[in-house]
Amino acid sequence: MLIRVYLIVILLQCFSSAQNYGSLKFTNYADDSKAAFSLTFDDGLLTHNTNVRPLLNQYGFKGTFYVIPPYLAEDNQPLIWRYGHWSDFQMIAADGHEIGSHTMNHDTLPNLAWGSTSTPGTLLYELYQSKIFIEQKIPSQICISLNYPYTLHNFIVDSAASLFYENGRTLGQTANDSALYGNDWFGLKAKVVEFGMPRNSVDDDLDELYAFLNWLSNAISKKQWGMIIIHDVVPFSELQSLLNNGIYEPITTEWLGWLCDWLEVKSLNKEIWVETVGNITRYIKEHEAATYDIVTSNNQLIQINVTDNLNNEIYNYPLSAYVKIPEDWHYIKVQQNTNTDTLTTIITDSGRVALIKVTPDKGLLSISPVTSTDINNEDIPLNDFLLYQNYPNPFNPSTNISYSLGSRQFISLKIFDMLGQEVATLVNDYQDAGLYTLEFNTDQLNLSSGIYLYRLQSGTTSSVAGINFSETKKMIYLR
């Protein structure tokens, strides 16, 4: 009888452990980033296509562009000064950026009567007709993001906006929390950068850049969602013309490029997730609504069904989640419909887990173990030579650069400015396999503030094999 009791206890323990496999913990932001950030651009201006689109595409960032539909011209029509063509914003949308609504006529919404969707000059007309106009011109997107003209709104405006949109953006000096509910969604706060005068050189705008980076760093520390409001973006050589014409707070391409450099570093370090207002809205609302059932859980297969109660036509963004898996699953294959990923797993205090992506209501999620041999057969490389992001970054006066070597090699680690001029050589010698960390100190170099590159190479151009490995990363020096 005693043996049977022990056997039952052992079986129950094994069953309980197996049932725990497949448990999910959804992260607050995509890829378990610490915070989030949205680049937003107002009014549908010509410079958004000529200057902003190529810059954001260079970094892989997606922005939200709020347009006033009647102000955009067809290709065969003359432009309204500063405003763009519909074809400009169709190209912007085709690159994956979001097109949001800034209403039909940029009226002061709290002053309008409720009205109807077919009565011009009323609240419902301004909100609804703009959305429909945009969706007719950009059929690949559902317009879910609203920008209040002059950032003015009230409870009545918010109630009307909620009939057609999923969020509304206004003005605020603080960032948004990671958990938002009800009317919070129609008071999303974004910050305007106000530049002091004079602006006679690009360096005159550095104080405002550093102040904004400090603001955003504070948002990161609080795990918040920050936004910036931007209007015209032009090269510095064109700035004075806009200032002379009284244009509201234009930003230079140089300034926006510096911001993107900083965001790129923070993004690579998983400190911040840069995405459109619409997609971050999708993520947070799905995160709050998602539930899951473990369908299968054993040492060979885990199957999970993830659902939410949201409109699947709008809410179809993949969530990031940590999934608990058996201890001997070092590599896994994750499948949902036609999407397949092969991932490495990690050990935590609560056991072995993997960070996966899953879209609610998009089919059964299947997770199974694979071996390192399977990975090699699938041509998924495991690189022994790695260059890590420097820390701290930005830095003054010094920062640490780490890298790992898989075998003894001739190693070169050099620092360059953005013009490609060599600034310093940290290593230029043979090194054995292992992990290395070196300090780069600017005290004796008299460098100016800005973006610098550091490049790790193994092998030499003079050897028969040539360069075996080469990787370059960016870092920011703030003097």
346-348, strands of its sheet edge to edge = 24-26, 319-324, 351-358, 346-348
Domain 34-283 in CATH 3.40.50.300: no
Under the banding of pLDDT at 50, 70 and 90, the label for residue 14 is very low
Q: Which residue has the tokens 């496999």?
A: 21
Q: Tell me the pLDDT tens digit for each residue of 373-384.
A: 565 454 433 345
Residue 319: predicted pLDDT: 98
Q: Reduced to 3 states, what is the DSSP secondary structure of residue 38?
A: strand
The percentage of residues in the chain with a pLDDT greater than 90, rounded to a whole number, is 74
Contacts of 431 (CB under 8 A, 6+ apart): 405, 408, 409, 411
The percentage of residues in the chain with a pLDDT greater than 70, rounded to a whole number, is 91
The terminus-to-terminus CA distance of the chain in angstroms comes to 77
Q: What's the whole-model pTM score? A: 0.79
Q: Which residue has the tokens 């909100």?
A: 127
Q: What does the buried/exposed string (b/e) look like for 310-329 if buried means 16 or more CB atoms within 10 Å of the residue's CB?
A: beeeebebbbbbbbbbbeeb
Q: Tell me the pLDDT tens digit for each residue of 61-96.
A: 999 999 999 999 999 999 999 999 999 999 999 999
CA-CA distance, 468 to 473, in Å (whole number)?
Answer: 17
Average pLDDT over residues 354-371: 94
Residue 467: predicted pLDDT: 52
One-letter identity of residue 170:
T
Mean pLDDT, the chain, whole residue set: 90
> Which has more confidence, 139 or 434?
139
Please state the domain extents for the chain.
34-283, 290-377, 386-477
From the list 132, 151, 145, the residue with the least C-alpha distance to 97 is: 145
* Class for the domain spanning 386-477: mainly beta
CA-CA distance, 40 to 172, in Å (whole number)?
Answer: 14
Under the banding of pLDDT at 50, 70 and 90, the label for residue 109 is very high
Residue 464: predicted pLDDT: 40
Among 134-138, 152-156, 336-340, 341-345, the least confident range:
341-345
Residue 330: predicted pLDDT: 86
Average pLDDT over residues 258-274: 91
Average pLDDT over residues 466-473: 74
191 in Cβ contact with 226 (< 8 Å)? yes
